[in-house]
Chain A
Amino acid sequence: MLSAYIIHLLILIGIYLILCLSLQLALGYTGLLNLGHIAFYAIGAYTSALLTLSGVPFIVSFLMAGIVSALFGYLLAFSTNKLKGDYLALATLGFTFVIYAIALNWTDLTNGALGLAGIPKPDLGILQIKSNAFYLFFVSITAVFSYLIINKIVKSPFGKVLEAIRDDELAVRILGKNTFKIKNYSLAVSAFFAGIAGSLYAHYITFIDPSSFGFMQIIPILSIVIIGGIASLRGTVLATFVLVLLPEPLRFIGFPSSVVGPVRQIIYALMLLLILMYRPKGFYGKVSLE
């Protein structure tokens, strides 16, 4: 029983890790204040669920979840390319509302508020992932792969250009670099991994509905990125473990379930407040939020 609970937590950590690492690429490294990350997560979850429910093999649906999200990421970056800071945050937040509204109202496709049930567990052809332990293995492999790819990007010269854009975009343009194109890539890759995380979530829970992808869901993700530290992958890893595990004792205190959710949000807010006051760079951040 306990091991099933721990496996469940580790699967959630793996999914959150992919989601937060990918946000770190756009937000921490490129400086794009993207509040639409949950929308990419939703697009990935719905794409993968709809495809597998129509009989498409899991592995194809899984990859398509990333690709479709990446396309949306590219389009969002393209259409918001001239926006910065607060304006970009508002535009991307608006994108979350649009995707949420589509999930809720395009009932022929998404089944609306009733959601999509019976999403099959992954079938990798020769291997059918039925047990959670095996699913944990699959999530872990995906999380490690995501970490390695994002790490390769940020450590490469391309990653230095991303950081330069975060620090001073105009100065990068004055050096002759097309920052619009670079930001498009950054957001597309970020969205790709968010889509992959969405697919993992959908096939783990086996049920998705619009309430899983409301704009409030960005708060824990954003908190993890900030608490881990801007432009730090290892900080993101540590913060994901800490913030996913921190509210867990609430389950054993005996609070009613209606209280657990808000208390969880309070814990995130408190953590964020303490970090901003006493450690503005987060756990391992390179850039101060002061």
Chain B
Amino acid sequence: MLEIKKISKDFGGVKAVNNCSFKVEPNTITALIGPNGAGKSTLFNLISSVIKSDTGKIFFDKKDITNLPPEKVSNAGISRLFQKARLFENLTVEDNLLLALDHTDTKFWFNLFCKTPKQTDKIQKVEKMLDMLGMKKTKNMFAKDLSYGQKRLIELGRTILNPHSFLMLDEPVAGVTPELRDKIANILIELKNQGETILLIEHDMNFTLGIADRVIVLDQGSVLIEGTPKQIKNNKQVLKAYLGE
């Protein structure tokens, strides 16, 4: 489904991603792990074209998406959650989620001259999502008034609502309570059962190894090893990468 081929990114002499290659198979949860500075978030930024790669190719459903504008990558079917909450702070939770559903809201002349159609179907989808996240009460709250954990959940909801066939989640449970972490784990497993493909970055090993089908370990911008959670758990190379000599 997603294939990374020899991708590299250099920041002023520092190789953040170095000749990195791997594949993500459909209908799996794949975890990207590695010590701080291993290049995980840079790789996410390269896939979603937030930054441009120096060399290498990225294929999604066999189409070359390398260095396309971020909106084109999104429209190809890749939906992404950022490491830090990026909600639209001065909009309500409902508006934040409505924005993810489709692109009729970008049609200027339609919005100017046509009577705005009632968004009943869309609002129902938003309410269903809020119900799934257990966040119905926040529907009319401004995003800036939410707690960190609530923001994470709403942003996860927005990422899921954004039409996609592939989800990229950058540290979805960082800084959230254990209850919320379990809730997010259940949501992700449920999504996988519905046929979704998920690539995630997470430092919480219990969470990651508990839900992932496959784990890719990055170190110094390259793939160190990949395998099942069981294979990765006690691998000496992985322990060395995390803990040093």
Residues of chain B contacted by A166 (CB below 8 angstroms):
90
Q: Is B104 an interface residue (CB 8 A)?
A: yes
Q: Is A65 an interface residue (CB 8 A)?
A: no
B50 to chain A, nearest CB (A): 7
* A156/B89 contact (C-beta < 8 A), A175-B99, A176-B103 known: no
Are B82 and A171 in touch, CB under 8 angstroms? yes
Q: Is B137 an interface residue (CB 8 A)?
A: no
Q: Is A179 an interface residue (CB 8 A)?
A: yes
CB within 8 Å of B: which A169-185 residues: 170-179, 181-182, 185
A164 to B92, CA, bound (A): 11
A157, A159, A185: the one within 8 Å of B98 (CB): A157
A149, A157, A173, A286: the one within 8 Å of B69 (CB): A173
Q: Which of under 10, 10 to 19, 20 to 34, or 35 or more describes the interface residues of B?
A: 20 to 34
Are B116 and A167 in touch, CB under 8 angstroms? no
A175 to B160, CA, bound (A): 11
CB within 8 Å of A: which B149-166 residues: 158, 162-163
Count: A-B pairs, CB below 8 Å:
97
Residues of chain A contacted by B75 (CB below 8 angstroms):
176
Q: Is A161 an interface residue (CB 8 A)?
A: yes
Q: Is B95 an interface residue (CB 8 A)?
A: yes
Are A156 and B116 in touch, CB under 8 angstroms? yes
Q: Is A108 an interface residue (CB 8 A)?
A: no
Q: CB-nearest residue of chain B relative to A287?
A: B90
A170 to B85, CA, bound (A): 12
* A183-196 near B? 1/0 per residue, CB < 8 Å: 00100000000000
Are A168 and B88 in touch, CB under 8 angstroms? yes
Q: CB-nearest residue of chain B relative to A178?
A: B71
* A176/B74 contact (C-beta < 8 A), A157-B98, A161-B105 known: yes
Residues of chain B contacted by A231 (CB below 8 angstroms):
90
CB within 8 Å of A: which B83-110 residues: 86-91, 95-96, 98-100, 103-108
How many residues on chain A are close to B (CB under 8 Å)? Answer: 30
A159 to B106, CA, bound (A): 9
A9 to B105, CA, bound (A): 39
Q: Which residues of A contact B (CB under 8 A)?
A: 149, 152-153, 156-161, 163-164, 166-168, 170-179, 181-182, 185, 231, 286-287
Ranked 10 nearest A-B pairs via Cβ: A157-B105, A176-B74, A158-B111, A156-B111, A167-B88, A171-B86, A173-B70, A164-B88, A185-B108, A176-B75
What are 28 contact pairs spanning A and B, CB under 8 A? A149-B112, A157-B98, A157-B119, A158-B106, A158-B111, A159-B111, A161-B106, A163-B90, A164-B95, A164-B96, A167-B87, A167-B89, A167-B90, A167-B91, A168-B86, A170-B50, A173-B71, A174-B82, A174-B86, A175-B71, A175-B74, A175-B100, A176-B162, A177-B103, A178-B71, A181-B106, A185-B108, A286-B90
